[in-house]
Amino acid sequence: MVKKTPHWLKPEQKKRLFELTRKFKQARILVVGDFILDHFVWGTVERISPEAPVPVVNVKRESYMPGGSLNVAHNIRTLGGTVYPSGVVGRDIAGRMLLKTMRQQGIDTGGIIYDRKRPTSLKTRVIAHSQQVVRFDREKTEPISREDTRALLAFYGKKIKSADVLIIEDYGKGVIQTELVHAVVTTARRLKKPILVDPKEHHFDYYRGVTSLTPNRKEAYGAYRQLVAGATGRESLETVGFGLLKKLQSESMLITLGEDGMALFQKNGKVNVIPTAAQEVFDVSGAGDTVIATFALALAAGAKLLEAALIANLAAGIVVGKLGTASVNSEELAAAIRSA
């Protein structure tokens, strides 16, 4: 039975959410995934090129942000938690810039694995008048080497015992593959650590037995078609959510639904549809990162699954109102809870 959560929260619910968010500063989250440097070119457009029907961007400034799994780490830091990210970068200018942005934002750099044969993943977005004009990616998406995998697992082994929650952040850039996932999930389950996954559509079969996955609607339907024989893509959201739970033997599935909010499916048969908390939407870049970061922090603080989903929904409502890959801070989240 689908249960729609009200747009508003009761006073006792707000009190509980405040109690949980105040414990974020005690949370320790280990993140394994693809490191990306987000490069933004900001400018204005006043004319069309005489050479081709494309806008001419008059560049005003440039900025860099840690992206991919590092945007998850950034969100955890801005919300007060401690984070240990691990991933691979190249011995190049983008890699040095990525290290600089991590240090500037207080993100632990001990999990960086350098690979001379691999470029740092770089996404460049050109933005004019609050609109993204074009994006171009420079990257290598083949699986990382066995040497890199062993180095990541060595760092993971040092940190997992002290971590409260493990996040696997899969951007499809080569870090997340079966050997790595099997090793980290096996260890985390043995230590009874919650395992959250922001999945790539074609890798869902890697994630059997994790605690929770946070796909968007497109990823969830795509995975259902891959994993369930005879699936057509016209199934109900409830069929897809519970079908994936059964196939992957997970405790829950938090499917983000864009302007429709999100839906939480639990293996006990409960499903809650949570309406969006967004007031206005400028950019959905990185919203999924904010969701899984906040969801993990809430679980580390002792939240039940629905409580964690409510907090994650409020955080997502904030971040989509910002331009570019963005994060949420504690003050913004507190204000969102008060006004919910």
pLDDT at 203: 87
Per residue in 74-105, pLDDT tens? 999 999 999 999 999 999 999 999 999 999 99
Report pLDDT for 283: 43
pLDDT tens digits for range 30-42: 999 999 999 999 9
Return d(Cα 133, Cα 281) in angstroms, integer: 17
The CATH number linked to 149 is: 3.40.1190.20
Residue 336: in which H helix or E strand, if any? helix 330-339
Quickly list DSSP for 164-194: SEEEEE--SSSS--HHHHHHHHHHHHHTT--
* Residues forming a β-bridge with 318: none
Q: What pairs with residue 208 in β-bridges?
A: none
How far apart (Å, rounded) are the C-alpha atoms in residues 192 and 197?
16
Reading the block at residue 269, the tokens are 């048969």
Write the pLDDT tens digit of every residue in 17-32: 999 999 999 999 999 9
Please write the tens of the pLDDT for every residue from 193-213. 999 999 987 888 899 999 999
Q: Binning pLDDT at 50, 70 and 90, where does residue 229 land? A: confident
Q: Predicted confidence band at 112 (pLDDT cuts at 50, 70, 90)?
A: very high
What pLDDT, in 10s, does the model give residues 275-334? 887 555 544 556 889 999 999 999 999 999 999 999 999 999 888 776 655 688 999 999
How many H helices and E strands in the chain? 10, 14
Q: Which of 34, 164, 283, 289 is catalytic?
A: 289
Number of domains in the chain: 1
**Catalytic annotation on 289?**
yes
Q: Are 331 and 315 in contact (CB under 8 A)?
A: no
What pLDDT score was predicted for residue 282?
Answer: 46
CB-CB contact of 267 with 251 (8 Å): yes
Read off the pTM.
Answer: 0.91
Residue span of the structural domain in which 157 resides: 2-339
Cα dihedral 121, 126, 132, 133 sign: negative
User: Residue 43: in which H helix or E strand, if any?
Assistant: strand 35-48
